[in-house]
């Protein structure tokens, strides 16, 4: 039995974008990937509007907590994905790391205006993250299928 490859999604505060991405990637690829998120300067909470917009698409991240990226330095992390520029610059090399991707998204936590205007920004960023991370999951599934079909017969 093989263990699932670990993916670590990094942001600066680990309060919003990285949790949206973690929840979405775990939802679409949790059967083939171990998914985590962390921050270079954790905020100490998960943004309530992030929790709300994820609930709208049937994903519960209310039990997530803000973590520091150093908490993962002793783990084998196959892929690191940064979702903001500051985390991309602060990102260390993790043990076992084979891949690194940077896909930047606007920070909805900086949205201003009414509650409805803020929610619109959270939904837009959630949907952008959903498109990118769903495509990533599909690519990982295609890689697995190709490896199995081109691999050794049992």
Q: Kindly report the CATH number assigned to the domain that includes residue 111.
A: 3.40.50.2300
pLDDT in tens, the chain (154 residues): 468 999 999 998 999 999 999 999 999 999 999 999 999 899 999 999 999 999 999 999 999 999 999 999 888 999 999 998 776 677 777 777 789 999 999 999 999 999 999 999 999 999 999 999 999 999 999 999 998 887 554 4
Of the listed 11, 28, 51, 87, which one is catalytic?
11
Let me know if residue 54 belongs to a domain.
yes
Q: How many domains does the chain have?
A: 1
16 annotated active-site: no
Q: Which of 12, 20, 79 is nearest to 44 (CA)?
A: 12
Answer positive or negative: Cα dihedral of 67, 73, 78, 80: positive
Let me know if residue 139 belongs to a domain.
yes
Is the model's pTM score more than 0.85?
A: yes
CB atoms within 10 A of CB 91: 18
CB atoms within 10 A of CB 52: 15
Round to the nearest angstrom and report the end-to-end CA distance of the chain: 14
65 annotated active-site: no
Let me know if residue 1 belongs to a domain.
no
Q: What is the CA radius of gyration of the chain?
A: 16
């Amino acid at each position: 039995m093989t263990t699932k490859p670990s993916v670590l999604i990094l942001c600066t505060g680990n309060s919003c974008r990285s949790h949206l991405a973690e929840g979405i990637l775990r939802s679409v690829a949790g059967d083939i990937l171990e998914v985590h998120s962390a921050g270079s300067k954790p905020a100490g909470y998960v943004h309530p509007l992030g929790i709300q917009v994820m609930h709208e698409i049937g994903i519960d991240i209310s039990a997530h907590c803000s973590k520091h990226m150093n908490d993962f330095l002793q783990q084998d992390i196959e892929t690191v994905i940064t979702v903001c520029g500051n985390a991309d610059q602060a990102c260390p090399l993790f043990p076992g790391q084979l891949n690194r991707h940077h896909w930047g998204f606007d920070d909805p936590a900086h949205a201003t205006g009414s509650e409805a205007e803020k929610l619109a920004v959270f939904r837009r960023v959630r949907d952008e993250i959903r498109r990118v991370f769903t495509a990533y999951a599909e690519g990982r599934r295609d890689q697995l299928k190709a490896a199995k079909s081109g691999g050794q017969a049992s």
